Amino acid sequence: MHIRRFVHRLALLALLLTLGLGAASAQSADPTAVLNLATNADPTLNPWTPGAVIESNLINTVLFDQLTRYSPEDLTPSPALAVSWSAEEGGLAWVFELREGVQWSDGAPFGAHDVAFTFNDVVLNPELGAQSASQYSAIERVEIIDDLTVRFVLATPFSALPYYLASFAGIIPEHVLGSAENPLTVASFNKATPVTTGPYMVAEFVPGSYVRLVPNPLHWAGEPQLAGLVFRVIPDPNTQVAQARAGELDVVTRLSPNLATGIEATGRLEVLRQSQNLFFFVAPNHDDDRFDDVRVKQALLMAIDRQAMIDALLDGFGEVATGPVAPMLGALYNPDVRTYDYDPEAAAALLDEAGWTLGADGVRAKDGERLAFSMPTGQFGDLVPATLLVQQYWEDIGVMADVNILEWNAYIQDVVVARNYEVTVAWWSMPPTADVAPYFSCSAARTGNNIPNYCNEELDELMNAGRRALTLEDQVEAYAAMQEFLADDLPYLYLWYPDILTAKNVALQGFPEITAATAFQHAVDWYIAR
């Protein structure tokens, strides 16, 4: 990475931001405003605790600053607790310079020891099973160079490290959690008043009701501009929207498209179409040798009218996927790959060519084996209707899918853990980087996030080339080749990139639109216009 140019750009950006914010605040920030947000369940206030997922991610992003955060312009990693970083030894080590003078909310100094503790003792401790730990498996250990310098020592190159460090990777305090038998399950921290570095800190946690945050007077970027944030626990999405319309909520994230309609009519709320590096897919289980012939997978994808599904299920709030890397990644997204437009006739012809011919029962078969699949699905979001639509499309070309609807928890156990399926619809949400190895590499098949159990050494090599590439130019080149391969060989049948809808109070300013994570990483800039 061209560090000098990068730093220049950052300095300029910081200057512009300061000027912009200064002007805006002087104009109209209401210092007494309290912002009300919704969360669907009681959060766990520790970013690494197993199970701290959707209900906890955004509040933890506000509470726990990370080494890096996404730039609101183009999602590149920008300084947070770290001010600069560079790769060494050809990408086998990364050195991060930490910000000076940062304090925890209890007044204790923040430093390299906290970063080393977070990674060495928590994330990389296999006995704890920390949330998302597998994403950091390339890290061997974190070394303390001095109080404000750490060095990430890697087992294999991992050029996306600064991106992953901005992805729900909050630093936790060693002086509070270091002595705990299990730093991930300290109830007085996770469920009460944790010690944090973010612009707001917890004042009150009422289980089942709300978590109230107040400005952290010790925050390194100065005090934020709201009198507080309240995360209300509201499990029912209909109630969340009703409350937003009634004026009791200012931000509702992960809004489903059918609830978004008409919400702007009140004049108080606006709907943001945010993006995320997230794709929905049909996973073919590659343990099944019928998927050895890529033509089968290509035909199955061509038989699905994805645009029609987006229109029906998402009210059009989405885009047909060409691979796992979403267009929001800009230069890293390669649009020039093989695409599969809806064409049931071509799909049928391709299956004929592959030897799968229509049998008397209307189902294709080859050498006595039928093209019929078990297709379990889970009760979550739009998965069930999406599965039923795919089943219909496949029936049109003589492919049978036996759909079995499972309760969500049972689905995860059966399909994700036990891989007991032949095809299934699901999604992956990833950091905004083209490094998608955790979902595709041979090492993640059967045990990790490679649900389709796909393994191809050529692909592994292409992904590793991306992990070794330290300049943007090299990454663009490496990942373009990877995306071509992924579109040709279809480890997953890519469905769509959904828009991530967020409803927010029109008076709420300084709220980056690009992704929800980015917006919450910049909570210090939020204010309510008077």
> Where on the chain is the footprint of other proteins (CB under 8 A)?
34, 41-42, 44, 49-53, 126-134, 182, 185-187, 190-191, 206-210, 212, 230, 232-236, 238-239, 242-243, 245-248, 406-410, 412-414, 416-417, 426, 444, 446-449
Q: How far is the CB of 43 from other proteins (least distance, A)?
A: 10
Q: How far is the CB of 246 from other proteins (least distance, A)?
A: 5
Between 156 and 307, CB nearer to other proteins: 156
Between 226 and 347, CB nearer to other proteins: 226
Q: How far is the CB of 187 from other proteins (least distance, A)?
A: 5
Q: How far is the CB of 129 from other proteins (least distance, A)?
A: 4
Between 243 and 456, CB nearer to other proteins: 243
Closest CA to 143 of 120, 166, 122: 120
Q: ∠328-4-87 over CA atoms, to 5°?
A: 75
530 vs 248, 266, 449, 508, 519, CA distance in Å?
17, 18, 46, 10, 20
Q: How far is the CB of 173 from other proteins (least distance, A)?
A: 17
Is 502 exposed, middle or buried, given 0-12, 13-18 or 19+ CB atoms closer than 10 A? buried
Q: How far is the CB of 39 from other proteins (least distance, A)?
A: 11
Please state at what angle helix 344-353 crosses helix 294-302, rounded to 10 degrees: 160
Q: How far is the CB of 115 from other proteins (least distance, A)?
A: 22
User: Hey, is 464 helix, strand or coil?
Assistant: helix
Between 85 and 200, CB nearer to other proteins: 200
Rg of the chain in Å (alpha carbons): 24
Contact (CB, 8 A) for 517 and 70: yes
Sort strands 372-378 and 400-406 into parallel, antiparallel or unpaired: parallel
Between 177 and 299, CB nearer to other proteins: 177
Q: How far is the CB of 188 from other proteins (least distance, A)?
A: 10
User: Hey, is 239 helix, strand or coil?
Assistant: helix
Which string of DSSP letters, residue by residue, matches 132-188?
TGGGGTTEEEEEEEETTEEEEEESS--TTHHHHTTSS-----HHHHTT-SSTT--HH
Q: What is the dihedral of CA 269, 274, 278, 281, to 10 degrees?
A: 60
**The tokens of 257 are what?**
């498209």
Sort strands 318-320 and 139-146 into parallel, antiparallel or unpaired: unpaired
Q: How far is the CB of 168 from other proteins (least distance, A)?
A: 11
Which string of DSSP letters, residue by residue, matches 386-439?
HHHHHHHHHHHTT-EEEEEEE-HHHHIIIIIIT---SEEEEEEEE-SSS--HHH
Place of tokens 């991610």: 57
Which residues make Cβ contacts (< 8 Å) with residue 321, sequence separation at least 6? 279, 280, 281, 306, 494, 495, 496, 497
Q: How far is the CB of 249 from other proteins (least distance, A)?
A: 9
**The tokens of 282 are what?**
């049909």
- Please provide residue 378's backbone torsions phi and psi, each rounded to the nearest 5 degrees: -115, 150
Between 61 and 322, CB nearer to other proteins: 61
Q: What is the dihedral of CA 483, 486, 487, 490, to 10 degrees?
A: -160
Cα 393 from Cα 387, distance rounded (Å): 10
Between 478 and 516, CB nearer to other proteins: 516
Q: How far is the CB of 498 from other proteins (least distance, A)?
A: 16
Between 296 and 451, CB nearer to other proteins: 451
Between 148 and 252, CB nearer to other proteins: 252
**The tokens of 468 are what?**
């070794």
Cα 438 from Cα 78, distance rounded (Å): 23
Q: How far is the CB of 167 from other proteins (least distance, A)?
A: 12
Q: How far is the CB of 316 from other proteins (least distance, A)?
A: 25
Contact (CB, 8 A) for 324 and 440: yes
* Cβ-based neighbour number of residue 123 at 10 Å: 23
